[in-house]
Amino acid sequence: MSSYVNVTALWHVALYGVLFGAGIVTCYALGVIGASRLTIARERGGASVIAPAALAAVSFATVATGLAFALYVLLSK
């Protein structure tokens, strides 16, 4: 089997696939939570908007960085 499969490449694909695939989804989900709580805080008025805004900003910025890295990988072929 291993003579037909580049096991090292397969291992890398699996590792980075999980790392980036699930990682980006997790960061984005945190961003959605932040954005959702920010909206609710604004609707209620008076509630602190700093924590949800910071969570959303950091999470979406991480996702944007991941997207930029993906574009770099895509174009560097």
Partner 1 sequence: MGSDLLLYIVVGTALAFDFTNGFHDTANAMASSIATRALPPRVAVALSAVLNVAGAFLSLAVATTIAKGVVDPSVITLNIVFAGLIGAITWNLITWYFGLPSSSSHALIGGVVGAALVAKGQSAIKGAGIVEKVLIPAVLAPFLAGAVAIVGTYLAYRLTRREKGDHVRRGFRYGQVASASLLSLAHGTNDAQKTMGVITLALIAHGSLNGNAGVPTWVIISAAVAIGAGTYIGGWRVIRTMGTRITAIEPPQGFAADTSSAAVILASSHYGFPLSTTHVCAGSIIGSGVGRKLADVRWGVAGRLAIAWVITLPAAALVGGGTSWASDLIGGTAGVLVMAGVGAILATGLYIVTRRDRVTADNLFEQGSASRDPNAVKHDLPDLVAA
Name the residues that contact partner 1, by CB under 8 A.
Answer: 4-6, 9-10, 12-14, 16-22, 24-26, 28-33, 35-37, 39-40, 63, 67, 70-71, 73-75, 77
* Residue 50 or 74 with smaller CB distance to partner 1: 74
The structure tokens 């991480």 sit at 62
CB of 46 to partner 1, least distance (A): 19
Question: Is 19 in contact with 26 (CB distance < 8 Å)?
Answer: no
Residue spans of alpha helices (H) in 1-77: 7-44, 50-75
In the complex, the smallest distance separating the C-beta of residue 24 from partner 1, rounded to whole angstroms, is 5
Q: What are phi and psi of 69, to 5 degrees?
A: -65, -40
